[in-house]
């Protein structure tokens, strides 16, 4: 079988689509497919529905925790594809996040306190990157 045949196969097309959507981070398509009561070619596919949704939510939660310091609880509910606020409360408890006045405060898992020398090294690294970028831009201008 070639790739096109695999992608068009009744049984393989759905896992292939899910894998592509996961790689692309397009969790919305996965969620829409799962909740639309899509008729899968065999009943065994339905066994993995909850597992896939939970895995997707964990992935999203880890990313949110990295990107945001805080988020309104309603926004968190929408981003995690949860139906009820009570489900969000459960999620917040499981991740040891703080909920204050309708806002979820994310606790970073790997908090590290930088000492002054590390901060200085980071500043020097940033200056070095900027300096190298300017040198590179100057050289590119000479070539053009």
pLDDT tens for the 144 residues of the chain, in order: 677 777 778 778 888 888 888 888 889 988 888 887 667 777 777 777 888 888 899 989 988 988 899 999 999 999 999 999 999 999 899 999 999 999 999 876 444 444 455 555 555 566 677 777 777 777 777 776
pLDDT given at position 144: 65
- Torsion angle of alpha carbons 48, 53, 54, 58, nearest 10°? 140
**What pLDDT is recorded for position 74?**
95
pLDDT of residue 70: 92
pLDDT value at position 118? 53
Q: Which of 59, 62, 85 is nearest to 72 (CA)?
A: 85
Pairing mode, strands 103-105 and 98-100: antiparallel
Looking at residue 117, its pLDDT comes to 52
pLDDT of residue 129: 74
Q: What is the pLDDT of residue 80?
A: 94
Domain covering 3-105, topology: 1.25.40
CA 139 and chain centroid, separation: 38
pLDDT (tens digit, 9 = 90+) per residue, 110-126? Answer: 444 444 555 555 555 66
Distances 43 to 39, 47, 52 between C-alpha atoms, Å: 9, 7, 15
Please check whether residue 31 is in contact with residue 53, taking contact to mean a CB–CB distance below 8 angstroms.
yes
């Amino acid at each position: 079988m070639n790739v096109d045949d695999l992608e068009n196969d009744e049984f393989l097309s759905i896992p292939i689509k899910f894998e592509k959507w996961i790689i692309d981070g397009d969790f919305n398509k996965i969620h829409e497919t799962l909740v639309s009561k899509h008729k899968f070619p065999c009943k065994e596919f339905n066994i993995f529905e909850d597992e896939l949704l939970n895995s997707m939510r964990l992935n999203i939660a880890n990313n949110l925790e990295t990107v945001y310091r805080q988020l309104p609880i309603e926004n968190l509910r929408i981003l995690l594809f949860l139906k009820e606020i009570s489900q969000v409360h459960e999620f917040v408890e499981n991740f040891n996040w703080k909920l204050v006045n309708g806002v979820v405060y994310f606790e970073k898992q790997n908090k590290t306190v930088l000492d002054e020398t590390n901060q200085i090294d980071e500043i020097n690294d940033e200056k070095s990157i900027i300096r190298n970028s300017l040198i590179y831009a100057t050289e590119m201008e000479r070539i053009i």
